[in-house]
Amino acid sequence: LDEETSGVMVYALCQKAHKDLTRQFEKRLIKKTYLCLAHGAATFDETIVTAPLGADPQNRIKVTANGLDARSAETRFVRESVAACGRFSLLRAYPRTGRTHQIRAHAAQIGHPLVGDLLYGGQKEHDAFDGRKPRICLHAESLALTHPSTGLPITFSAPPPPDIIELMTLLMSTKVSSFA
């Protein structure tokens, strides 16, 4: 996960599990769900962004569509709600691939950069946060995979942390707990 991203991660405790989890990620068998707060009123119910991502030649910290050494990347976004003010949208992101900054770059590409993400065009909404500096509003909500030892399907999930819930509730002017 990116440094400011909260949520669920999976970690192998033995070499056998590591090998199996790596295989599942490589074959895109693991289903990932992210909750994000984006700028703008999303007009789509659902959209899929398919754009290869690679290093931005102007800023090596960033990735961009068709950048240097670009690799295939695909993210499906589903609009959950739009703030009454029309300035923010609550989205769920379902990345099919797992490229660096994939959700952040794809969200910006469709005109909905994530709140708090200066690298990809999301402004820091200082006035709305009583002077507090928000982090990037991206939360890894769940991972669904096959357990390496038992072979059974398993889903790990994590509710958004209090700072993300507070921020989403403030900007969306609605309770977000129903999305957790």
Render pLDDT for 59-91 as a digit per residue (tens, 0 to 9). 989 999 988 999 999 999 999 999 988 889 999
pTM confidence score: 0.88
pLDDT at 129: 55
Among positive and negative, which fits the CA dihedral 68, 117, 77, 142? positive
Task: Please answer whether residues 179 and 34 qualify as being in contact, where contact means their C-beta atoms are separated by less than 8 angstroms.
Answer: no
Report, in angstroms and rounded to the nearest whole number, the Rg of the chain calculated over CA atoms. Answer: 17
* Residue 20 designated active-site: no
Question: CA-CA distance, 30 to 135, in Å (whole number)?
Answer: 26
Question: CA-CA distance, 115 to 47, in Å (whole number)?
Answer: 19
Which residue among the candidates 2, 20, 45, 69 is catalytic per the annotation? 2
